[in-house]
Amino acid sequence: MTTPVSISSLVKTFGSTRALDGLHLEVAEGEVHGFLGPNGAGKTTTLRVLLGLLRADSGTVRLLGGDPWHDAVALHRRLAYVPGDVTLWPNLSGGEVIDMLGRMRGGMNPKRRAELIERFNLDPTKKGRSYSKGNRQKVALVAGLASDVELLLLDEPTSGLDPLMEAVFRDTLLEERQKGRTILLSSHILSEVEALCHRVTIIRSGRTVETGTLTELRHLRRTSIDATLATPPQGLDGLPGVHDLSVDGTRVRVQVDNAHLDEVLRALTTVGVRSLVSQPPSLEELFLRHYGTEPTVDERGQTETEALPR
């Protein structure tokens, strides 16, 4: 069994811009893989290399067991791609575009096509120029999802969809997930990735900074605790894994590395807990910590381990 997508040390430059700078990405068969990064991180560039639209400067890229540059045409029949910014032909109707892309890919499932058009509430007789951005996106989604292919490559597919349609998209993708379809989903909408993906790769400035299952990533992250204690606490700031501690009388707010939750909770319970609210780290927080302007861990002199290869 081959790995559907396997990229290592991928470098792609545009003039002086290093769009991809040693990127790693593995997508296993039957997996929904979230591909996260802020704007300009290199997600679209990575997908374009995978599609053989761009030629890698260096590194190895394997797609469905083949070379995406040399075997492009044969490989493309086994996958469907939904671009992030869909432009349609002004005087082709949505239905015509869907059928055309399906045929060029080597066929689509007509039942599934009809069902998706229904679910996404798309009018297939409208011309390209009269579709809104969200509707153009739907055309590309229907064309991609209605094809019986091994691999789906989706580049920020929900941009422009309203919340209702986003929910339809999630349901549809969850069904695909059930069927065991391999999906690479590029996104910057974290809740979407949290809801859909088995594993996640986070990139920044063309490099992979994290990869793993959501549980694995959470394990490496912090939990925020807001507790009211029986008496003011002592010596909390001496404990390992404690960040941003603020004590206001008996009220304690603190961020704790998940690896050190035990020690901190023990310290709290010895004082006596009257109320406690703890929040799991959302992907937003993971994201902010990597891409926000917070000082890095090293500068703070903490011993926290960074997840996975830098």
Ligand X SMILES: Nc1ncnc2c1ncn2[C@@H]1O[C@H](COP(=O)(O)OP(=O)(O)O)[C@@H](O)[C@H]1O
Site residues for ligand X per CB under 6 A: 14, 17, 19, 37, 39-45
- The binder of 101, among Mg ion, another protein, ligand X, none, by C-beta within 5 to 8 A per type, is another protein
Nearer to another protein, 69 or 245 (CB): 69
From the CB of 290, what's the least distance to ligand X, in Å?
14
From the CB of 284, what's the least distance to ligand X, in Å?
17
Concatenated DSSP letters of the chain: ---SEEEEEEEEEETTEEEEEEEEEEE-TT-EEEEE--TTSSHHHHHHHHTTSS--SEEEEEETTB-TTTSHHHHHTTEEEE-SS----TTSBHHHHHHHHHHHHT---HHHHHHHHHHTT--TTSBGGG--HHHHHHHHHHHHHTS--SEEEEESTTTT--HHHHHHHHHHHHHHHHHT-EEEEEES-HHHHHHH-SEEEEEETTEEEEEEEHHHHHHTSEEEEEEEESS---SGGGSTTEEEEEEETTEEEEEEEGGGHHHHHHHHHHH-EEEEEEEPPPHHHHHHHHHSSSPPHHHHT--PPPPS--
Binding letters toward another protein, positions 216-235, x by CB under 8 A: --------------------
Query: What does the alpha-carbon distance between residue 114 and residue 142 come to, in Å, rounded to a whole number?
Result: 9
Nearer to another protein, 92 or 245 (CB): 92
Full 3-state SS string of 20-67: EEEEEEEECCCCEEEEECCCCCCHHHHHHHHCCCCCCCEEEEEECCEC
Q: Does 98 bind another protein (CB under 8 A)?
A: yes
Q: Does 138 bind another protein (CB under 8 A)?
A: no
Subset of residues 14 to 73 that bind another protein, contact rule: CB under 8 A: 48, 51, 53-55, 72-73
Size of the site for Mg ion (CB under 5 A): 2
Q: Which of 16, 125, 215, 293 binds another protein (CB under 8 A)?
A: 125
- The binder of 70, among ligand X, another protein, Mg ion, none, by C-beta within 5 to 8 A per type, is none
Q: Does 260 bind another protein (CB under 8 A)?
A: no
Q: Which of 10, 61, 140, 142 binds another protein (CB under 8 A)?
A: 140
- The binder of 227, among Mg ion, another protein, ligand X, none, by C-beta within 5 to 8 A per type, is none
- The binder of 45, among another protein, Mg ion, ligand X, none, by C-beta within 5 to 8 A per type, is ligand X
Nearer to another protein, 129 or 300 (CB): 129
Q: Does 77 bind another protein (CB under 8 A)?
A: yes
Q: Does 44 bind Mg ion (CB under 5 A)?
A: yes
Q: Which of 81, 120, 169, 291 binds another protein (CB under 8 A)?
A: 81
Binding site for another protein (CB under 8 A): 48, 51, 53-55, 72-74, 76-77, 79, 81, 83, 85-93, 95-101, 103-106, 124-127, 129-130, 140, 143, 153
